[in-house]
Amino acid sequence: MNFDLPADTEAMCAALTAFARRDLGGTGTFVPEDFRRRWQLAGKQGILGATVPEEHGGSGLGAVSAVALMEALGIGTADTGFGFSVAAHLFACLMPIVEFGTPDQKLLWLPRLSSGELIAAHAITETEAGSDIFAMRTIAELRGDSYVLNGSKAFITNAPIADVFIVQAVTEPGGGFFGLTSFIIEAGTPGLHAGPAYDKVGLRGSPTGELHLDDVHVPPEHVLGGRGAGAAVFSGSMKWERTCLFGVYLGAMRRVLDSTIEFAGERVQFGAPIGEFQAVSHRIVDMMLGMESARLLLFKAAAELARGGNNEVWSALAKIAVSEAAVQLGLDAIGVRGGLGITDGAAETLLRDALPSRIFSGTNEIQKNNIARTLGFGRRPARRR
């Protein structure tokens, strides 16, 4: 096993970190004009289409390089919310079009989505259908020569500012896995309305909101993957998102760990830097242990995805490991700083940004259920002793 990234990937990541520090900082809150300005800069830098094939305007990177790139982005920008929006756009929206889109759909959407001209959002979640996607109530009925969609979506990343939506809807009630269909819908389509950005505990730089559909007409050529392929499209997007998106959190953890080490070396109490006290130094070692362990799992998941294997278990394990490590590292970074940790700064920001990571892309509890199924639990009735 070679744990070193190729030299060209290392150079690409170093350049991205420097670029993000210089141009993608932001204020940590969502300001529409500034968000789109930084978005277009990210597009010119090639971030938004990193894993999109070159013939469609992307860079053609594999999953391992994509995780490394997202890690570099997380190190470079303190606005983890912006990095989260970038990753959700790329992995939950562009990659489904890459894998399920028709040639015409790829030609129409991918170059502009990769360049930063357009912003995408994948509308899956509803208030009554989060982890249970088959409980969704948004309906798509074929009427004449178009589908008509009605329903509402919630907690949709990039919804308040998106130009293009991938919307999941029920086309066969009670049809289970084959009862859902994905649609590509442009903002401004009559009957399609995005709500304002939520006021969230974390990831405040990422605009998240609701999407309402009231008799939205969509032509058949905007069906993604064919009728009944919605669950497959969703699974494909999660395959990429649960693996590569969490690279942003690796970078954020690295950035905060480095600043915590620096703080512990400079902060003097009782005549010595606090890093000299075992209680502090051991806590910092635990921070490093959690981060590096999670990093290994995430790159393992990326390697499985890159070779075309079934990475469901590895992506689930990595998602749990990264999210839990990020929350704990945020708590420990605050603990090392003491009172300064609960004022505005890197430590408390990381903790707020890390809390949602336990929930999105499938809650950690759902990930454990998925892993348990692969171990044979929940499939067979219990045998009588």
Active site residues: 241
Element (H, E) at 346: helix 346-354
- Bridge partner list, 151: 213
> Residue 168: CB partners within 8 Å, gap ≥ 6?
122, 123, 124, 133, 136, 138, 180, 181, 182, 230, 233, 234
CA 157/CA 376 separation, integer angstroms: 34
CA 72/CA 77 separation, integer angstroms: 9
> Residue 75: CB partners within 8 Å, gap ≥ 6?
17, 20, 251, 252, 254, 255
* Three-state DSSP class for residue 50: coil
Phi, psi of 361 (to 5 degrees): 60, 25
CA 266/CA 253 separation, integer angstroms: 20
Half-sphere exposure of 181 (CA within 13 A, CB side): 23
* Residue 28 Cα distances to 79, 80, 119, 204, 207, angstroms: 5, 8, 19, 6, 11
Rg from Cα positions in the chain: 21
Neighbours of 29 (CB within 10 A): 13
> Residue 140: CB partners within 8 Å, gap ≥ 6?
147, 148, 149, 169, 170, 171, 181, 183, 218
Q: Cβ(136)–Cβ(153) under 8 Å?
A: no
